[in-house]
Amino acid sequence: MVGDTLRLLVVDDHPLFRKGLRTLLGSVSDFTLVGEAETGAAAIERSLTLQPDVVLMDLQMPGGSGIDAIREIVAASPTTKILVVTLFEDDDSVFAALRAGARGYVLKDTDEEEMIRAIRAVGNGEAIFSPAVAKRVLAYFAVPRRDAPQLFPTLTEREREILRHLAQGKSNPAIATELFLSPKTVANHLSNIFGKLQVADRAEAIIRARDAGLR
């Protein structure tokens, strides 16, 4: 931070959204937009070159994911703070971003006043979430983990959760609705589950899960 001015880098592959952020940031006297990037790779390169105080980071872009970019930027430049600005509020996206080193997580439909407050908070070293994301974080830690640690240890917690729903006979769309995920994300998780359990299809996976006590 130079004086009381926050130096910002915007990373997003949608020109219209970048234009909107550019207009918003330009209206705030203590914000200075030092650069923009359209890909994860460009985000890493420009972060290291420009050394912004805060990077406003989308998660899904061409040229490398936002999660990978966050991890590399934080490792190479610990003083640069990351505020995720995205459409995605599912658990996988939120917790992957936080594990990678993001300090804040807001949604793209956040109003202008809240966005400005979030940028300032992250720039000052605080952690901040939009209300919808904060609820998910609190809910995640409030719900007791029902799986015994030794049950399918090769699976992630999310994969065990999906496997439990599968064992209950639920379809992919039903699981997606229940867990606030996209059907494609559920299908990707199931593919990983099948591989880890070394089963050929969902029928075999259901048998394995029910034999282990998942209902």
Residues 118 and 192 in one domain: no
Residues 39 and 94 in one domain: yes
The fraction of the chain above a pLDDT of 70, given in percent, is 93
147 pLDDT exceeds 70? no
Q: Give the E-state strand segments of 74-119 in sequence order.
A: 81-86, 104-107
| CA atoms of 71 and 125, how far apart (whole Å) | 17
**Residue 163 in 3-state DSSP?**
helix
- The per-residue DSSP string of 91-102 comes to HHHHHHHHHHT-
87 pLDDT exceeds 60? yes
How many distinct structural domains can be found in the chain? 2
Write the CB contacts of 54 (distance below 8 Å, at least 6 apart in sequence).
6, 7, 8, 9, 80, 81, 82, 83, 119, 122, 123
Structure tokens at 49: 């070159």
The dihedral through the CA atoms of 105, 107, 113, 115 has a sign that is: positive
pLDDT, tens digit, 9 for 90 and up, residues 23-73 = 999 999 999 999 999 999 999 999 999 999 999 999 988 777 898 899 999
User: What CATH number has the domain bearing residue 92?
Assistant: 3.40.50.2300
Residues 204 and 133 in one domain: no
Q: What residues make up the domain containing 161?
A: 157-211
Helical residues (DSSP H) of 150-199, grouped into ranges = 157-167, 172-179, 183-197
pLDDT, tens digit, 9 for 90 and up, residues 158-190 = 898 899 899 888 899 989 988 888 999 999 999
* Final residue in a domain of this structure, among 92, 111, 139: 139
Residues 89 and 170 in one domain: no
145 pLDDT exceeds 60? no
Residues 42 and 126 in one domain: yes
Q: Give the E-state strand segments of the chain in sequence order.
A: 6-11, 31-37, 54-57, 81-86, 104-107, 128-129
Identify whether 1 is part of a domain: no
User: What CATH number has the domain bearing residue 191?
Assistant: 1.10.10.10
120 pLDDT exceeds 60? yes
pTM of the model: 0.65
Instruction: Give the model's confidence band at 2: pLDDT under 50 very low, under 70 low, under 90 confident, else very high.
Output: low
Residues 167 and 101 in one domain: no
